[in-house]
Amino acid sequence: MTMQNAIDWPERFLPGTGDNFVSNEVIVEGVTAARVWPYLTDTSTWESYYDAVTDVAFPEGDGPVLKEGLVFTFEPVGAGAVRTQHARVVACRAPGEGAPGRLSWTAGQDGAPEERLEVLHAWLVEDLPGGRVRVLTQETQIGPPAVELARQVPDPMLNRHQAWLRGLIAAASDGR
């Protein structure tokens, strides 16, 4: 039996306690966690394989490679009431021998109470036996825009995150 790792969740964003939660995962052969990791953490590659995020910027400098504590902004495309997100990386550890890569950031948007949104977007990238890689991404959202997203069937976040995973794996597989 193979045990798979899980996302480490801060209590405030524990799945099932917010207004919207999505979970997406892929497991594929022929790609390693080490190959996937740079495409996930280097934001300059995102727009080449994922069309639902634009205008990644680093208001405090640094970037484009994510690291713990880094502040960045981005514009989600096709996210309805969700607009420019202000994010901070809270965990960033590359995959290593027997240990998964872990990346997560908090993000949000300010505004009137009905526009406020807080999220924790987390990623786990791990090698599995048999030359396989597993990429898991999960997001908890809190606030009125999240309530509206959760009412939609299917949840647009679920579809956007699945597209992100597909693009990430294709980029890592193709080496573009």
CATH assignment of the domain containing 64: 3.30.530.20
Distance between CA atoms of residues 139 and 73, nearest Å: 17
* pTM attached to this predicted model: 0.93
Question: Is 126 a member of any domain?
Answer: yes
Could you tell me if residue 51 is inside a domain? Answer: yes
* Domain assignment present for 94: yes
For 24-56, b/e burial (b = at least 16 CB within 10 A) is bebebeebebebbbebbbebebbbebbebbeeb
CB 37 within 8 A of CB 125: yes
In a domain, 133, yes or no: yes
Show the beta-strand stretches assigned E in the chain.
20-29, 53-57, 71-76, 85-93, 101-109, 117-128, 132-142
Domains identified in the chain, total number: 1
Domain range enclosing 164: 17-174
Tokens encoding 157: 């976040």
Per-residue pLDDT of the chain (176 residues; tens, 9 = 90+): 467 889 999 999 999 999 999 999 999 999 999 999 999 999 999 999 999 898 999 999 999 999 999 999 998 876 555 567 899 999 999 999 889 999 999 998 878 888 899 999 999 999 999 999 999 999 999 999 999 989 999 889 999 999 999 999 999 998 64
For 99, list phi and psi in degrees, rounded to 5: -125, 135
- Flag whether 9 is in a domain: no
pLDDT at residue 14, rounded to an integer = 96
Q: Does 107 map to a domain?
A: yes
Residue 139 lies in a domain: yes
